[in-house]
């Protein structure tokens, strides 16, 4: 017995399950996606061989010592807590968040100390951060040549 196809017997593809799956995927991605706005700092990284930059008359200098101690414009802070660093920046800036910040870290300072200083700068609302480096000629003249390890 042969089956003949008539006009009434049309082939149809049911796409309802496909649409259901697409909607479920859409809902899944919408629920699992997080929309967060992170604060960003504008960081200027000078090259070690570049010419010495002219010092601006109004700037804030943060020095990170080898032991992780901080100093703002030559004045040492009483402790290494981020709250102290934020408060010191507020006092030194006088509320002017457009002042450039120069971060000078000892080569032997821990990464955490430098990151803490950068975090305090960001929390204080400053966006102009420069990280100071020393030219190789200056290292040789000062006698601070790195040792081979």
Asked whether residue 68 is domain-assigned, the answer is yes
pTM over the 0.75 mark: no
Structural domain for 80, as ranges = 42-142
How do residues 6-18 score in pLDDT, each as one tens digit? Answer: 656 677 888 999 9
Q: Which residues pair with 71 in a beta bridge?
A: 63, 76
Q: Is residue 33 part of a domain?
A: no
Which residue matches tokens 């196809």?
5
Which CATH number do you get for residue 126?
Answer: 3.30.420.270
Mean pLDDT for the stretch of residues 92-109: 87
- Any domain includes 10: no
Reported as a single tens digit per residue, the pLDDT across 42-52 is 555 555 665 55
């Amino acid at each position: 017995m042969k089956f003949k196809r008539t006009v009434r017997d049309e082939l149809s593809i049911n796409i309802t399950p496909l649409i259901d799956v697409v909607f479920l995927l859409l809902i899944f991605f919408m629920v699992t996606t997080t929309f967060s706005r992170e604060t960003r700092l504008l960081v200027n990284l000078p090259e070690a061989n570049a010419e010495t930059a002219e010092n601006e008359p109004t700037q804030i200098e943060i020095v990170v010592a080898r032991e992780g101690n901080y100093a703002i414009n030559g004045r040492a802070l009483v402790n290494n807590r981020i709250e102290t660093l934020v408060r010191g920046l507020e006092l030194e800036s006088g509320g002017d968040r457009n002042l450039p910040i120069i971060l000078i870290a000892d080569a032997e300072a821990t990464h955490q100390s430098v990151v803490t200083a950068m975090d305090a700068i960001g929390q204080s609302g400053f966006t102009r951060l420069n990280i100071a480096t020393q030219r190789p000629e200056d290292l040789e003249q000062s006698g601070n040549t790195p040792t081979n390890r």
